[in-house]
Structure 1
Amino acid sequence: MGVARRSCTRPIQLDLPLLACLVTVLGVCAARSEAPRGVAVPFVFDPSATCDPRCQHAGICIRNNTCFCSRGYEGETCQYATCYPKCKNGGECLRPGKCRCPPGFGGKYCHKVKCDTGCWNGGDCIAVNGVAKCICPSSWTGSKCQEAICPQGCRNGGSCVAPGICSCLDGWLGGACHMAVCHRPCLNGGKCVSPNTCRCRPLYFGPRCEERKMY
């Protein structure tokens, strides 16, 4: 059996005895495994046959203008490579088992949707109307799922850095950056309303509401 396989792939010679041997072995190999696409086996071989245009990719001219294609090729002159499974999503078979994929698809047979920049933070790349797109988890958004979502919002110049978490500017605190910070506390019931700024109750005034009005 090992000799038969080597004979199937041996370069074709022009002498008649070797061609006859090659055709016999080809018939046995095709019958035992996957038959090349083309003429059915067994077939009549004409050693004086000519094919114009010539058979490509190691195909054999067995009758006038009739090619017997090697495994992985098909067509009248064996000009087309075949991929199994077939290339998907508009992919092109370049050579046996090798697909060239269109933008947005990847994998050996173009069966995987591919987002060029990738999908971050657990996003899934899927095809939407033939276009690769990231579908993000509920707490992320953006073309790559790179932007966190803070349902409460981030106020006073704060930015959302993770789901539900704001990064606040100096002078602000809180889940939504809504709490001002006064480094020196407001007195007499005063309230810190912006960084280091107190709003005083009636009868009081001053930077920290430390002074009482006199009537």
Structure 2
Amino acid sequence: MTVLNYRSVLSTIRLVLVPLVLLVGVCSGGSDVPRGVALPFVFDPKATCDPPCKHAGICIRNNTCFCSRGYEGEVCQYASCYPKCKNGGECLRPGKCRCPSGFGGRYCHKVVCDGGCWNGGDCIAVNGVAKCICPSSWTGSKCQDAICPQGCKNGGSCVAPGICSCPEGWLGGACHTAVCMKPCLNGGKCVSPDTCRCRSPFTGPQCEERKKLF
């Protein structure tokens, strides 16, 4: 046999054997058995499958489909994802999961909080629901609200942990100190913006006048 003929024979053998090696599994509905499990292979070129095989599946015997890679089921109707979709995810096509709310990643294996967690919060699953766990100085669904333990009085708002933003006319860590543009005199006390509380016997806007007793 010449070298040319020998190579031609080898090529023919490869063309026959390669498809047979590839066709080593038969789809079964709902099966979790991985692809590639060796089964006796019988191919009937006259076989018919009703309903027909989907997703490029091959009808190898009557009503028996051989599925292409990434599909399974009696007629290759189901996509398969490996690893399987987690946390209730649905396999849309081979290797592509559709994840339920609160989960993400290629196989729905990551917990995802909508909008993220701010200010150092951690997104974790609590009873199957994604939730932000906030540091001690923050609160809110996204850890967006600062906590002021002392509180913010007189219309003030907490803008950072322990820090209040005060409206005009108020000062102090809790917006508790009133501001009088003109100082209160004679021992008077500023009790609200530009309002003095005077000590007897003084009166007036800044407690500058002495009351006449008689």
> Is the structural similarity TM-score above 0.5?
yes
**2:99 alignment partner, one of 101, 109, 120:** 101
Cα distance, 1:213–1:200 mapped onto 2, change above 3 Å: same
Cα distance, 1:186–1:211 mapped onto 2, change above 3 Å: same
Structure 2 unaligned segments of length 5 or more: list them: 1-12, 25-32
**Residue aligning to 1:118:** 116
* Runs of 4 or more above 6 Å deviation: none
- Kindly provide the amino acid, as one letter, of the partner of residue 210 in structure 1: E
Give TM-score scaled by structure 2 length: 0.79
Distance 1:69 1:36 in 2: 12
Structure 1 unaligned segments of length 5 or more: list them: 1-16, 29-34
Overall identity of the aligned pairs, in % = 82
**Residue aligning to 2:84:** 86
- Report the Cα offset of residue 160 of structure 1: 0.9
Distance 1:70 1:159 in 2: 62
Report how many aligned residue pairs link the two structures. 193
**Residue aligning to 2:175:** 177
**Residue aligning to 2:46:** 48
- Report the Cα offset of residue 19 of structure 1: 9.0
**Residue aligning to 2:7:** none
Distance 1:48 1:154 in 2: 83
TM-align CA RMSD? 2.5
- Report the Cα offset of residue 138 of structure 1: 1.5
Indicate if the aligned counterparts of 1:91 and 1:101 stay in contact, CA closer than 8 A. Answer: yes
Distance 1:53 1:39 in 2: 25
Distance 2:115 2:34 in 1: 40
Distance 1:181 1:144 in 2: 35
Deviation per CA, 1:6-42: give whole Å up to 9, x if none: xxxxxxxxxxx999556324158xxxxxx96387345
Give TM-score scaled by structure 1 length: 0.79
Indicate if the aligned counterparts of 1:91 and 1:100 stay in contact, CA closer than 8 A. Answer: yes
